[in-house]
Amino acid sequence: MGLPRRSRQRQRRRCPLRTSGVSITYPLLFLPAALTAAASSQVRQNYHPDCEAAINRHIQFQLYVSYVYLSMAAFCDHRGLNEKPFTRFFLSKSHEWSAFTEMFLTLQNERGGRIVFRNIEKPNHKYWINGLASMECAFHLEMTVNESFLDLYRLASSKNDAHLCSFLKHRCLQPHFQVIREMFALLSNLRQVEAKKDDIIEYLFTKLYLDDRSSKN
């Protein structure tokens, strides 16, 4: 028979950190948030709250412009074949302003601003009695947008915001001036065609001119 084994007492192993009296120092968990706040402060430098609010109002207005053009396109499409060139033209303008609004959304985020969306007002279509009348309303709409650009530029200038002034001048005012010139020329020709009271001439003119303008966009 073998010799009896001695009973072994199981020794509890203690964590050395608990018995050595060493205190654990955790990293500063809030450091990334502090860095983020500092970065946000740097981004917002020289971005006045009045400019931020004005940009939000302009974003809302451009969304309204895109919505109006979309409504014009649907309204002209409902009236029949003779209005099809106007339908394509207004639809291209709606897409154009929608894409242009995305540029302002990017600007607001890059400057550290907060984007605020509101309800878009329903367009009033009682004056869109024909293609010419719709184009008159469209020209007035473009002129109103231009006034909004100018108001933004004057505000940015008064707040010494050189970045916003440069953006408005080169990305908005200068290109939009050309848009207004083209639309004014189109509207002048449409008035002359309308004066002739010839539906065939009006259809051919709008098809050639407006379809060419829509294809460029």
Determine the average pLDDT of the residues in 156-176.
97
The yes-or-no verdict on residue 17 having pLDDT over 80 is no
The yes-or-no verdict on residue 81 having pLDDT over 80 is no
Percentage of residues in the chain with pLDDT exceeding 90? 50
Determine the average pLDDT of the residues in 85-105.
93
Right CATH for 48-216 from 1.10.287.370, 2.40.50.420, 3.90.1300.10, 1.20.1260.10: 1.20.1260.10
Q: Establish whether 147 is an annotated binding residue.
A: no
> What is the DSSP secondary-structure string of the chain?
-PPPPPPPPPPPPPPHHHHS-PPP----TTHHHHHHHHHHHHHTTT--HHHHHHHHHHHHHHHHHHHHHHHHHHHHHHH-GGGHHHHHHHHHHHHHHHHHHHHHHHHHHHTT------PPPPP--TT-SSHHHHHHHHHHHHHHHHHHHHHHHHHHHHTT-HHHHHHHIIIIIHHHHHHHHHHHHHHHHHHHHHHHT-HHHHHHHHHHHHHHHHHH-
How is the chain split into domains, by residue range? Answer: 48-216
Rounded distance between C-alpha atoms, residue 45 and residue 94, angstroms: 34
Q: What is the pLDDT of residues 40-63, one digit of tens each?
A: 545 576 899 999 999 999 999 999
Q: What is the pLDDT of residues 109-159, one digit of tens each?
A: 999 999 999 999 998 888 888 888 899 999 999 999 999 999 999 999 999
What confidence score (pLDDT) does residue 126 get? 84
pLDDT-derived band at 210, boundaries 50, 70, 90: low
